[in-house]
Structures are given as structure tokens and as C-alpha cells.
Structure 1
Amino acid sequence: MRSVLLVLSILIWFGAGGIQGQTRRIPDDEMAALREIAEQLGKEDWNLSLNLCDENENWNTPVKQGNYNSTVNCTCLGDGCHISAIYLKGQDLPGVIPKSIVKLPYLKYIDLTRNYLSGSIPPELTSTKLEFVVFGMNRLSGTIPKDLGRMTSLTNLSLESNMFEGTVPAELGNLVNLQYFNLNSNNLTGELPKELNHLINLREVRLSSNNFTGKLPSFQSWKQLRILELEASGFEGPIPSNISLLRNLIELRITDLNGGASNFPQLEDMTAMTKLTLRSCNISGPIPSYLVNLPLTTLDLSYNRLEGNVPNLELANKLQWMYLTKNFLTGLIPPWITYRPPNFQIDLSYNNFSKVVDEAPTCKDTLNVFRSFSSGNNSDFAECLKNLPCPGNRYYLHINCGGPEVTVGKTTYEEDESQGDCEICAPSSTLGI
């Protein structure tokens, strides 16, 4: 009896193994859909006869510096194995967003960054259960479909660096699970819909380089936000006071606000802030001294109407880049700035300082004080900076504009026989880079 049970156990074990081996293959209908997706994308180097769930370079090409990736992943569940992720970054694909994505019911992630995909987002996409959609840096156009608001499973939506136009659909406010939202570098217009206030789980929002109109929107519901980027977005100031509620911010970047003036926003409770950029925001008043208490690595307050003295930020030990260019700052340049370590880059140009506290300041190429003094003051300091040697290595490109390659002495000038005007050089020129 024991021997019979042993034989049965062995048969069951091998049978289970055989079933498991069979279920590691992707169903035929999903492989057929993958073939259609390859055709629609213009992806020509997949060998569809190879088992997708086996690790090989056909389905999993090693990532190169984060800009190149060709990977298809499968996930094996109780009912078998299915296609769960497609990453095709930096492939120069010439096609369109595949309609056949809808035929992959288990697909959760798709990343098609850095290709040449054109056309619009197909309506079929909105019937999927995707969680991660990244179509950045392509040639997509048209409007953002309002039906994307049906994809409530989305946690990540990135459409940056395309040619989308029109307004942001109010229906995107239904994406209640969205955490990452990137619409940078498109041609979007109009005001942001108030329905986006429903997106209380947002961690990162990027809306730079668009043509939005109206006042900066209210941010009070985005209290989980870690990164907010609104550079050259088209919005008008002032910076809303309720931005102070975003206490989890580690990076805040707002630039080129049109319209009304702003006071410096209340940011003292943002104790995790590492990068603060408020450039060309028409901010007036003094620079607040509480900035020394924030763990800043970058501080850019250039092109505003800030006035008064530079606050004492000597104890801001992590601060490496500080730009206060073109404000109305006055008073003394304190010694902690002139004696800051070489890895500290600071730009005080185009201000109205009276002089430097130290009578014999240390000159260095990491401190820019060009036209930073009121007329006639601290000429010795300016002279000192003028005599600084050029930093770093220098490289040269020699061009013989309008002629063939020629060697003069030990220098070879590259040929340039184009018929157009050569505005950067004389018949033989040198560019120092």
C-alpha cells in the first residue's frame, strides 16, 4: 500500500510540474496581441517564437544609462502566465500608440519614452487597467482625451515633451489613485480645472513649459506632494498663500510668473525642502532668515524684487548652489560668502551692495559679483575678480570657414565649405570651449 501511495505521489508531483511548465507559456491570444503591438509601434527585432517568460535578451535587454530599455515582463499567477509590463525606452520607434494594448488584460505598466511615436492617444487605451503610463518625449499630438479619467487604476501618468494642445480635461480629477502627474513641455492652454483638487494622493506634479492662463491654482488639497514644478507654465501670480500647507515638499520650482506681485511665501514648515527655485516670480521684500533651517542644497531667487541684506546662511551646510541674480539687495556682502568652500557656487550679480565686509576678500571663480555693487564701491574687489584665471580645462575647435582643411603652424583648421554665412568666425577662426 505504501509503495502505491509513493508512486501516486511521484506521479502527482511530476504532473504538477508538467502543468507548471505548460502554464509558463503566454496564451496564444496575448502573443498575437503582442505581434500586433510590434507592428503598430514599428518594433521589428522581437523574436515572437521565443518563450516570453524565459529570461533572455530577446525580451529583456539590459538598461543602458536609464535612457534605453527593451523589456517585456510576464507574471505567473494561478491561472497561468500573462504579459504584465512593456518598457521600450529610447528605441527610435516610428509608429503610433498601439490600439492592441487593450488585448492584454493583465498589462499594468507601459513605458514608451524617447521614441518617434506620432498621432493621438487611442480611445481603446481608456478601457485598460493600466497603472503606469509613460509616453514622454515623442511626437504625440491632439488633445488629452477626457476618457482617460475612466482609468482610475492609474498611479503614474506622464505625457511630457509632446505636442498636446487644448485644456486639461476636468475628468482627470477622477484619477483618485494618481501619484505622479507630468504634463511638462506641451502646448496646453487654459486654466487648470478645479476637479484636480480631488487628487489627494499626488506625490509629484510637473506642469512646466506650457501656455496655461489664469492664477496659480490652489494647492491646499495636495498635502502629500513631494515635488511641484511650475517653470514657465504661463500662470499668473501671486504665489498663493496656501502653498504653505504643502509641508511634505522636498522640491519647489516656480518661475516666470505673469501678473501680480508676491510676498515671499511662508515656507518655514517645509523642513524636508532641499531644492527651492522661485525665479522671476515678481517677489518683493526681504529674503527670510528661516531659510537657514531648511536642508537646502539649491536656492534660486534670481530676477525678483528682493531687497535688504543677504541673510546669514552660514550654517546651511548642505547649500551648494545659491543664485540671487538681479534683485535689489543692498548692504554688505558678508564674509561667510567670500570664504565659502570651493564647491559652493554663488551668483550675486546685478544687485546694489555697498561693499564687502572683509577688506581683503578671497577671490575665486565660484563667486559672481558682476555689477553687484552700487556705483564706485569696492573697486579693489572688482579688480581682484577681474584678474582671476579662467577655471578648468579649455578645449578648442578650429574652423576654416568657407574653405578646405588647412594647417597653420601646429594648428589644423577643419574644413567648412558651406555656402551659407559664417557669423561666428572669420576666414580662419578658433572657438574656445
Structure 2
Amino acid sequence: MTPLTPVLTDTWDKDRSWSLETYVATADGYAGLRKALTMNPADIVTAVKESGLRGRGGAGFPTGLKWSFLPPDDGKPRYLVVNADESEPGTCKDIPLMMASPQHLVEGVAITSVAINCHHAFVYVRGEVLHVYRRLLNAVQEAYDAGYLGKNILGSGYDLDVTVHAGAGAYICGEETALLDSLEGRRGQPRLKPPFPAVEGLYARPTVVNNVESIASVPAIMRNGAAWFASMGTEKSQGMGLFSLSGHVTRPGQYEAPLGITLRELLDMAGGIREGHRIKFWTPGGSSTPMFTDAHLDVPLDYESVGAAKSMLGTRALQIFDETTCVVRAVSRWMDFYAHESCGKCTPCREGTFWLKQVLARVENGGGVDADIDLMVDLCDNILGRAFCALGDGATSPVTSSIELFRDEYQAHIDNHGCPFDPVRSALFDYTPKQRTGLLAGAAGGH
């Protein structure tokens, strides 16, 4: 027996799992919407609250509570926006979900729209994943053709249109207010809050912004009840979720299990670390969460336990690295990403990520000095809590956590004038710095 709980993934192994026909036949598709259309919208919100569903996009904010923040209906438009701009390094759950079973999301959009009295919903997808964008467009069209979307849904008198929008591939658009600006046709940059989207969001109207997995979880709650969902997971982190295992693991992939499962349990199902190696460090929620080591294999993967261990559950993107990986190199590559994706709106993030990138590259490439480690900590201190949005804060996490856990490895790069994991550079440690520079320049030139 395994603790796997296939709910969102229950149709992934079926023939043409992405089709409406398969969804209806094998997952009791749209039964949740039929039920929701007979309910008072406030009762739907209450059911989602009682289920304990928390946002699956990283922050973990209670989903039903977020819906309830909308002001009283004034008869004017209000919107639902699904954040499908999945781009956190290591995160790969929403894209497989939309590819394998987009109807879970489409039905969830319809139920959520009924709950908040929205008549026009948007799904914001990364433009690079063209195959997913096309599949979602087709799924929405199938739902229109079957009467689950459009005018007078299932004869209920309720109207709903759904627009699938392709973004232009900016990581910052994963931040909800930057996404809204992008959706309105402007440059994607975070807005000042308050006002929050629930009060003044898309087109300055009340808006709910939720992650793909959050919305896709709603149909099962409608079908099976709030108590069923709350029976999984832990007392404060209820339900199931998709855990993405990647890196040096035998069978990487998506594992759907109740929150509170441990990495040790997930690794047992994934065949463990690749043969002949051992785990060195891993991320519990993508590259912007403080890293863990093998000492954290038994930390329950729920919001409270991971937080108590000084990290964040985030998007449950479990990147696994074995002992052959240079932690300085890994963090340096992540910082290249954050410096590139910073929108430039605020000085702490724009300048801080740029300088962290320079210092990390200097240390990795053999030019580091003893003061560089404390310099990086100081740079992180000047970003954390001072950036306009969470991108800056997230960018500091791999740096500060890696220095705390692997300071000796940073020092080894400085003392040895290069990476001790690089066999070419390791062979050069007996030469003087000037000789090393000449030898490496010659190697780069093909001599």
C-alpha cells in the first residue's frame, strides 16, 4: 500500500484523458457543477472553507476565505482569474495537469464562478507552453459545445464565458497583480497593495486570483463533500496535492498524496536517489524556498511543519541533488534566473539580484575572497523584506540557506580558487593563480 491519493490525477492513465468524454465517463465529470448550480453561492463558499482547501500556488492562503473577501455584489462585473503562469524553477504540476486532464480545471472554473457570481473568467497560461495552451483552448470549446459554459449553463439561467490568455513568458507575471496588469495589456509589474485584487483587481473590479491546482480541486470537493477532503492531510494542511520530484531521483514525476507526507516516503515510491549516490540537498517548494538536507527527510510536507523547519512548502517542487552537485554552482544558476526575471520596478530586487549574481559567479569561477560570503549575506539582508513583491525575498532564500548549511563549500571555492567538484579546475589547484589563468584561457581557446 502507498499513501498516494489519485484525485486530480485519477484520469491521467485513461485513453484520451484530456477529452471531455473521458472526464465525464471516468471521473463523474461535471457532477460537481450540476450540484453547485442548485446551491446558494454562499453555501459553495462555505463548503470550500470547511474543506480546508488552501491555495496550491505557494502561499497556502485558505481558498474559501479568499473568495469571501469579495465585497457585496453591486450588479457590475466581477472576475475569476486562474494563474497558470507556472514558472518557478523545479515546479511542474499545473502544466501536466492541464495537459493530461484540463477538464478538472474547466469544471473548477465554472463552479468557482458560480460561487462568486462571476460571468467572465480568465485562464492566464504561459505562452511558451503552446501545446498546453492549445489543449486548454480545445477543452474550453468542448465545454461550450456540451453546454457547461456559455449562455444558460445546463438550463440554469447562469451565463459564463471563459477566456484562455497566453502570456509572454515573464516569471514576474506569476505574481497576481503583475499578472492582472499583463492581462490588461500593460507591462507585467506588481501593483501596490492595498487595494487588493478582491477589492480592485482586473479592470479595477473585484477579482479572485487562484492557482490552477486550487481551482481544479474544487469539483472533487463538490462531489464528495468538505468532510471527505478535510479527512486527508493534516489538521491545518488538509487535502491532497501534487508533489513534483525532479533531479537525481530514480523515477522523477508527479506524485499526488495527502499533505504531510515526507520526502522519505516519496523517495520510496520514486525508487530512491539514483543508484550509487546519496542525497546532499533538496528544495521543498522550488528554488525560492530555503533548501533542506538529508537531515530533513522526515519533515512532514505540510505548511506548518516545513515552516517550523525554517523553509516553505511553496509549490511542492522537490528538486533532489546528490553529492556530486556543487551547491555554489546550483545557487549561482538560480540567481542568474532571478536577476534575469526581476522586473526592475524596485531597487532592492533589481540591484540586489544583479550583485548577488556577480559575487556568486566570482566565487564559483575562482576569484572569490574571504569577505564575499559575508557580502552575500549582507546583500540578502538588504533585499529581504524591502522588495516590492515576493520575487526579491524568494531570490535570497537559496543564498542564505546554502551559506548556513554549506558555508565550508563556499570557503573551499575561495581557498582553492575554484570549484572542488570541477575535475579540470581541481587538477589546476597546484598551480599559481597566474598559471591557472593562462591554462584555463588556453583550454577555452582550444589550445
Q: TM-score, normalised by structure 2?
A: 0.21
In terms of Rg, which structure is larger?
Answer: 1
**More strand by percentage:** 1
Q: TM-score, normalised by structure 1?
A: 0.22
